Structure 1
Amino acid sequence: MADKKEKEKKGYKPVWIIVAFLVLVIINFLPAPEALGVIGLRALSVLAFAVIMWVTEAVKYPVSAVMIVGLLIILLGLSPVPANDIGAALDVPDGTEQFGTRNALSLAFSGFSSSALALVAAALFLASAMQITNLHKRLALYVLRIVGNKTNAIVLGTILVSILLAFFVPSATARAGAIIPILIGMVAAFGMSKDSKLATLLIVTAVQAVSIWNVGIKTAAAQNLVAVGFINEAMGEDVSWIDWFIYAAPFSIIMSILLYFVMTRFFKAETDEISGGRELIDKELAELGPIKPIEWRLIIIATLLLIFWATEGILHPFDSSSVTLIALALMLSPKVGVFTWKEVEGTINWGTIIVFAIGISLGTVLLRTGAAQWLSDVTFGAMGLDAFPLVAVIALVSVFNIIIHLGFASATSLASALIPVFIALTTTLNMGDASLGFVLVQQFVICFGFLLPVSAPQNMLAYGTGTFTVNDLLKSGIFLTVGGYLLIILLSATYWQWIGLL
């Protein structure tokens, strides 16, 4: 027992590490299919290793990311270069027989040169700025103060706060971290415990709303940026902030209405009104004091950033990544900025940046070695999807996507594993102009983190407060997952076709 606790404390699961390496070795000793080749087979072996490590959380995500890099360098570096189009796609000189560790190293670190990584890194700084200045908390308090003391109104206010913060705080965990303590404080002010029905109602509403708006806004979640990075790399397409919003916001708006209905109908609180709620909010606002100059500067920078995101490609030539990096430079500048490097460096989760970059690298490897195309042909080609209409394909693949998500604690890792396969599937099925739309719709489904605490980091953050059980989240999550799935099909058959996405 003591050894088990010690291993848990160290953050690794030796059995699953061994299983992952065994699967890796077994796949490498299998004969390589002619359509795949040795280098493609080895890429798939690393993918299998990565999936096992990610699903079981055998080690911390940054640790598994470094292990993946090492494996890519060794296995790809010692692989023969195929004498076909795949070999040409790997960008090695003619006559090269072995891929080489230098080329493998370059490919393994390709994610670090992605513009999507720059956007994620800058977004983490923006989220830290919100936390350092407490501006996100102030925004949440103002909204909750406006909606009043009625329980249903506070549910609505919780959803509205999640929507508002999604525009300005590009981190689902940070958004949940802003609103959950306030809601718990309101419950405590009424003299109720953290395991009360009221606490369950409010906290579950908060985390589900955060997940819903991960879909609606491009910059709301890192997994969206993973998808955009692959779309840019493999399809030569770019999805602007406003285009994403036009495509996805209707989904999130309708889902927010469904969330309000589900929570107010099926999660009844002990009271219809929190009589001490407004006083608590006034007290917390008083403790924050008047808006400070540093907050005003952040408000101006964040508002300008949102305007530049929304007008990308319309009023100016700057893409989202460039604009966000310029905003970061302003936030770090003396006098006009909001924090110093010393203040912010301890608040950034640098492991997230590493995991994100390596996830992009792994996806790039799958695309360039032909492994993603082969996996798509084998997995989906055998299903005879080419005989189905597009909406039916979306319906079937979305079910697969939702089921796979049950095993992943990180939507970013899920996007890294699946988006390259979905991109390859568009080639397999000759989707043509609908290719971009198909991949985006599947990315929206990847954002479904409604069912289990392990389905999303914000769920785990909320679950740690002890305010709800797994069954509570599952109860609301089933409604939202089924509703979201049916809405995906409906929008695929109507709105997304009307606007030319599909």
Structure 2
Amino acid sequence: MSSSVAVLPWRLGVSLLALLGALGWLLLGSADGSVLQAGIVVVLCIGLWATGWLPQWLTALIFFTLCTVAKVAPASTAFAGFESAATWLVFSGMVIGAAINYTGLGERVAARVGPHLASGYPQAVVGVGLLGLIASFFMPSAMGRIVLLVPILLTLADRFGYAEDDPGRTGVLLSGIMSSFLPTFTILPANVPNNVLMGASEAVLGFSPSYGEYLLLHFPILGLLKWLLIMGLILWQFRAAAPSPFSTEPPSKLGRGGAMMGALLAFAVLMWMTDAWHGISPAWIGMVVALACLFPGSGLLPARPLQQINLEPFIYVAGIVSLGALAHQSGLGEAIAGRLLAVLPLSPDATVGNFAWLSVIATVLGMLVTLPGVPAVMTPLAPQLADVTGWSPSAVVMSQVIGFSTVVFPYQSPPLIIGLLTSGVSIRQAMRITLPLALITIVLLWPLDFVWWRWLGII
């Protein structure tokens, strides 16, 4: 990102003018944490994140500064990201990823998996994507999956012979990252927005969907079919030659550090898979493993490890989460949803229109309050929406999944962004998949999903 700012200084000038204008407006206006003030900050930061005119971490620092200097929100809201489990899962993930590489465990896993994927570029892309999708059924944390997969994907790309600027490298990395995230909105415990929806539904309506009901309703179209579209888009957008043949020599034996790292990862995966039973957040499981890696003398990381770990993603995710907290706690999300509901033609006689407009509302909110904020804003409105549309409250709640699973920009989701930043894939490269995928989803998958819902008798 920094290189693009240097090449195009006008972007830096426009960003600076927008920042100064927003700061002046905030300081001259009332300092009462109003919805208008929150809207100014949210729109400015989302614009900078979406365009990539400034480094993501710098925009996050701008967000913290604006909120504090102009008293847009109390510190508990402005810095809510640093209290979030998602942010600390990012930190632990970066430490774990560095340890996987340092101990040679990533090389070992790649040596085992790689020969089965090296017969051709399509086989490599689809194989890596299938690995990410299957992992979603066993690991409930999207961030945890990204943490484990990215170091292995990087090693695989190197072993395949794809250099830094090779489209094949980007294709392999995007396949694993996006497969472990985008289709998983249809698997109940596999993503944060799904879990927020389940908890909010229980709190507001007194019920939450079961695993099987949720999977049947969403996975065939928005999960499996979308995954196939992702594979096709990657192969179309990032065409490459076949990977280099893998060595047939058996991988070297793991040293003490690699064996210890393998045992720690096995512990983490087991705990992540059973979090519904023990109730410990995946973030703190990750932090236990990260602390073991950081402990002096462990041999899992080099001396002074934090000097060698890029902490920019940590700041960025804290900013994203804090922005979502500001949009929700200031009432901005509810205000936008209320305005949309007031002007949209929802009625019991317009089933197709209800389906489309409810999906649109959730999609638009996802771009403003980030994906986890969608169910937090929309679920309390479910009783009102059920009265207006004539749908059951359960159907209204489930319509949110159509919207928050339609990811337009990568900044909407911390796990996706972390996967991109830690793998070296640029936001613009990722948008070559997310933008056309969102368009195809709206034009093709939404109508198919409507037919599927009708066939199941949901609406």
Give the TM-score taking structure 2 as reference length: 0.70
Percent identity for Structure 1 against Structure 2: 14
Aligned residue in 1 for 2:390: none
Shift of 1:76: 3.3
Distance 1:395 1:355 in 2: 33
Is contact 2:193-2:375 (8 Å) kept?
no
Amino acid of the structure 1 residue aligned with 2:267 = L
Shift of 1:357: 2.0
Correspondence 1:160-179 to 2 at 5 A: 160-163=130-133, 170=144, 172=146, 175=149, 178-179=152-153
The question of 1:295 aligning with 2:262 is answered: no
The question of 1:42 aligning with 2:3 is answered: no
Distance 1:387 1:10 in 2: 53
Amino acid of the structure 2 residue aligned with 1:22 = G
SS of 1:76's equivalent in the other structure is coil
Is contact 1:16-1:58 (8 Å) kept?
yes
Shift of 1:490: 4.9
Amino acid of the structure 2 residue aligned with 1:423 = A
1:449-497 Cα distance to aligned partner (Å, 9 max, x none): 6xxxxx9676796767xxxx97x99589746862587446656775899
Is contact 1:14-1:58 (8 Å) kept?
no
Q: How many residues align?
A: 431
Match 1:129 to one of 99, 102, 116: 99
Q: Comparing 246-255 with 65-74, which one deviates more in the overlay? A: 246-255
Is contact 1:117-1:353 (8 Å) kept?
yes
The question of 1:354 aligning with 2:321 is answered: no
Is contact 1:144-1:157 (8 Å) kept?
no
The question of 1:482 aligning with 2:440 is answered: yes
Shift of 1:345: 1.1
Correspondence 1:413-492 to 2 at 5 A: 414=367, 416-417=369-370, 419-420=372-373, 423-428=376-381, 430=384, 432-433=393-394, 437-446=398-407, 474=432, 478=436, 482=440, 486-487=444-445, 490=448
Aligned residue in 2 for 1:411: none
Amino acid of the structure 2 residue aligned with 1:482 = I
Match 1:308 to one of 258, 265, 271: 271
SS of 1:278's equivalent in the other structure is coil
1:170-194 Cα distance to aligned partner (Å, 9 max, x none): 4759845643564465457xxxx99
Shift of 1:44: 1.1
Aligned residue in 1 for 2:279: 317
Aligned residue in 1 for 2:182: 215
Is contact 2:88-2:283 (8 Å) kept?
yes
SS of 2:92's equivalent in the other structure is helix
- Are the structure 2 counterparts of residues 125 and 457 from structure 1 closer, same or farther at C-alpha, using a change threshold of 3 Å? closer
Is contact 1:65-1:359 (8 Å) kept?
yes
- Are the structure 2 counterparts of residues 233 and 310 from structure 1 closer, same or farther at C-alpha, using a change threshold of 3 Å? same
Correspondence 1:89-488 to 2 at 5 A: 104-147=74-117, 149=119, 152-163=122-133, 170=144, 172=146, 175=149, 178-179=152-153, 182-183=156-157, 186=160, 200=167, 203-204=170-171, 206-216=173-183, 225=192, 251-259=222-230, 277-279=245-247, 282=248, 286=251, 289-313=252-276, 315-333=277-295, 337=298, 339-340=300-301, 342-385=303-346, 395-396=356-357, 398=359, 414=367, 416-417=369-370, 419-420=372-373, 423-428=376-381, 430=384, 432-433=393-394, 437-446=398-407, 474=432, 478=436, 482=440, 486-487=444-445
Aligned residue in 2 for 1:82: none
Unmatched segments (≥5 aa) in structure 2: 386-392, 411-415
Match 2:57 to one of 58, 62, 65: 62
Root-mean-square deviation over aligned CA pairs = 5.3
Shift of 1:235: 8.6
- Are the structure 2 counterparts of residues 474 and 265 from structure 1 closer, same or farther at C-alpha, using a change threshold of 3 Å? closer
The question of 1:13 aligning with 2:15 is answered: no
SS of 1:290's equivalent in the other structure is coil
Is contact 1:217-1:245 (8 Å) kept?
no
Is contact 1:216-1:252 (8 Å) kept?
yes
Distance 1:317 1:252 in 2: 27
Shift of 1:369: 2.1
- Are the structure 2 counterparts of residues 260 and 387 from structure 1 closer, same or farther at C-alpha, using a change threshold of 3 Å? same
Shift of 1:374: 0.9
Distance 1:170 1:349 in 2: 18
Q: Comparing 45-54 with 341-350, which one deviates more in the overlay? A: 341-350
Amino acid of the structure 2 residue aligned with 1:119 = L
Distance 1:486 1:6 in 2: 37
- Are the structure 2 counterparts of residues 266 and 417 from structure 1 closer, same or farther at C-alpha, using a change threshold of 3 Å? closer
Distance 1:474 1:433 in 2: 34
- Are the structure 2 counterparts of residues 106 and 448 from structure 1 closer, same or farther at C-alpha, using a change threshold of 3 Å? closer
Is contact 2:12-2:53 (8 Å) kept?
yes
Aligned residue in 2 for 1:22: 21
Distance 2:70 2:350 in 1: 39
Shift of 1:433: 4.6
Aligned residue in 2 for 1:81: none
- Are the structure 2 counterparts of residues 208 and 260 from structure 1 closer, same or farther at C-alpha, using a change threshold of 3 Å? closer
SS of 2:82's equivalent in the other structure is helix
Is contact 1:40-1:369 (8 Å) kept?
yes
Distance 1:178 1:145 in 2: 14
Is contact 1:111-1:360 (8 Å) kept?
yes
Larger radius of gyration: 1
Give the TM-score taking structure 1 as reference length: 0.65
- Are the structure 2 counterparts of residues 404 and 417 from structure 1 closer, same or farther at C-alpha, using a change threshold of 3 Å? closer
